[in-house]
Chains A and B, each alone.
Chain A
Amino acid sequence: MKTVFAKTPMLTDNVMHYCPGCTHGIIHRLVGEAIVELGAAERAVGVAPVGCAVLAYNYFNCDMVQASHGRAPAVATGIKRVRPDAAVFTYQGDGDLAAIGTAETIHAAARGENITVIFVNNAIYGMTGGQMAPTTMPGQVTQTSPYGRDASVAGMPLKVCEMLATLDGAAYIERVSVDSVKNIRAAKKAILRAFSCQIAGAGFSMVEVLSTCPTNWGLDPVGSLGWLRDNMIPYYPLGIYKNSQGD
């Protein structure tokens, strides 16, 4: 029988705990496929965050370290400085990367730390049950912004790609989405470019992936893809924000 599709060997057979319709599974697969396609599986080291993806160490079939909340880029820095030949990546959500771990994120980028950051932005704290995140958009209802995010009280969201693109140490910064097949294919290419950037020793690379949270958005899987498309993409425009390799 001819094999027409196979799960990437970079993912284990463990059953994922993600909610139905959540796009973490797609993003995991894209990361796994990219690492395999670049021939980096045997030297890959991942750093898991705190948040929904905390159990990523059960899913990525490579050496893994589980970091404390927001500190994954610092932990990845320590690993990479000891093992410069390893393909080191962090996998972080918006609360982890853009709130409690803002300093670690910005300074890893500023140092041009030669790691790859996969930043999953679903505009909400998922694991704790749907609270306002640093990327929750104005007017967006969450458990801790029950009347919609009021910018006069809670301030405005962080646009991480735009911010990091201003840093000289950042080599590759792109925002993608996984709301459609077309965008998923584009996301894969972005992740490949980010890891290629690291393998070339060019410096800090990050791919921000707009992602869904059907459970905490209160939408069904298809509805949440539409919500992402209609609300997040206009606010968080897709595209390459920095590419020092210039390809």
Chain B
Amino acid sequence: MKGNEAVAEAAIRAGCRHFFGYPITPQTEVAAYMSRRMPKEGGLYLQAESEIGAINMVMGASAAGARAMTSSSSPGIALKSEGLSYMAGCDLPGVLVNIQRGGPGLGGIQPSQADYFQTTKGVGHGDFHIIALAPNTIQEMVDLTVLAFDLADRYRVVSMVLADGILGQMMEPVVLPEYAPDAQDVSKGWAVGGTGGKRKRNIINSLYLDPEELETMNFQRYERYAQIGRDEQRWESYLLDDADIVVAAYGASARVAKNAILEARAQGIKAGLLRPITLWPFPKTAFAAAADKARAFVTAEMSMGQMIEDVELAIRCRRPVYLSNRVGGMVPTPTDILSVIQKANAGHDQ
């Protein structure tokens, strides 16, 4: 399956029956697939008037208790910032897919990973986070989409599947999960839809004019984030046990990095891969442990150097961290990454 279509099918199987879309390259196949499939599943594909409209429809559908979803690409995600902040302030679950493209501005339509900051640091105003899951195969596009819904409901947060134009467009065989028919019936006692005369009214709101109350709400939300940070860090290790040089890469970059690592090993450089699967929460534990043994780190990312800051923080700058990057829609070759691995191995200036 094509990555974009795999995400959509996985969402349907995870019980999503309300998808609100808006066309933007290179994620449009998600919307197109949903528009074909949803009516056959008794679900809804609704094309919104804007990215802003789409995220607010997700907010409404989520408030009404549904597993709701939208997808977009980098500039469109920026437009959703406000809605994401309100959903966080209201503790509403939801799933968002970002098939990244190059920026800033209109940028380009080729693959990019330049939304790392937007996703993990600045996804909207105020204190909040979203869970960010970064697949690097089409199978993971499927599996992490299902996980995104489960985590969103469990923690009442928005989960994002953060991929890029490569993963959105490429094809691989996948094993699809069984349908989760009961997912719609997850008990959400806080949802709106009318009291039915059986319960007190529910209010979904992010306004707290009393600063003490707002502070309390923020502290409570961050206790939940702390729990997510403890329990939900995910990563993949590849040839890491004896690695002198640890390459940190996620998504499509990690696929290229694996080839670079094999070439480095063929040249006698003990390189390994530490691939964050959750970008938030960042797998700090794994990085801290890797820093005990490794001599240096290389982050390989399709950005001007964004994830590198989290790597440096996670290892408390105990080791040098080198940056291997291509940007603007350019995809790194194994040789690009290998050359930085060689530099790190030789201990050259960063």
Chain A interface (Cβ < 8 Å from any Cβ of B):
42-45, 47-48, 54-55, 57, 61-68, 71, 74-83, 85-87, 103-104, 106-107
Contacts and interface: CB of A to CB of B under 8 A. Distances in A.
For A54, A63, A103, which residue has the most chain B Cβ atoms within 10 angstroms? A63
Interface in B26-71: 44, 46, 48-50, 52-54, 56-66, 68
A201 B58 CA distance: 22
Contact of A78 (B59, B82, B194, B207): B59
Contacts of B193: 43, 45, 63, 79, 82-83, 86
Interface of B: 18, 20, 44, 46, 48-50, 52-54, 56-66, 68, 82-83, 86, 90, 192-197, 201-207
A78 B49 contact: no
Contacts of B196: 42-43
Contacts of B59: 65, 67, 71, 74-75, 78
Given A64-B203, A64-B205, A77 B46 contact: yes
B205 A82 contact: no
Contact of B194 (A71, A76, A83, A104): A83
Contact of A81 (B46, B54, B82): B46
A67 B63 CA distance: 11
A62 B261 CA distance: 60
A53 to B, nearest CB: 12
Nearest to B63: A65
A48 B62 CA distance: 16
A52 to B, nearest CB: 13
A44 B194 contact: yes
For B66, B194, B202, B206, which residue has the most chain A Cβ atoms within 10 angstroms? B194
B64 A104 contact: no
A82 B66 contact: yes
A78 B192 contact: no
A42 B49 contact: no
Given A44-B194, A81-B44, A82-B66, A65 B204 contact: yes
A48 B60 CA distance: 12
Contacts of A68: 56, 82-83, 86
Nearest to A63: B192
Contacts, number: 136
A66 B60 CA distance: 10
Contacts of B60: 47, 65, 74-82
Contacts of B64: 45, 78-79, 82-83, 86
The 10 closest A-B pairs by CB, nearest first: A78-B60, A43-B194, A74-B56, A107-B49, A78-B61, A63-B192, A82-B64, A75-B60, A78-B57, A71-B56
B63 to A, nearest CB: 5
B20 A71 contact: no
B62 A103 contact: no
Contacts of A57: 203, 205
A85 B196 CA distance: 11
Given A42-B194, A44-B194, A83-B193, A78 B204 contact: no
Given A64-B205, A79-B63, A81-B61, A74 B53 contact: yes
A103 B46 contact: no
A82 B64 CA distance: 6
A43 B202 CA distance: 12
Contacts of B62: 78
Given A43-B196, A54-B207, A74-B60, 10 more contacts: A42-B196, A42-B197, A43-B193, A63-B203, A66-B90, A68-B83, A71-B83, A74-B56, A77-B60, A78-B60
Contact of A74 (B18, B48, B65): B48
For B56, B202, B203, which residue has the most chain A Cβ atoms within 10 angstroms? B56
Contacts of A63: 192-195, 201-203
A71 B52 contact: yes
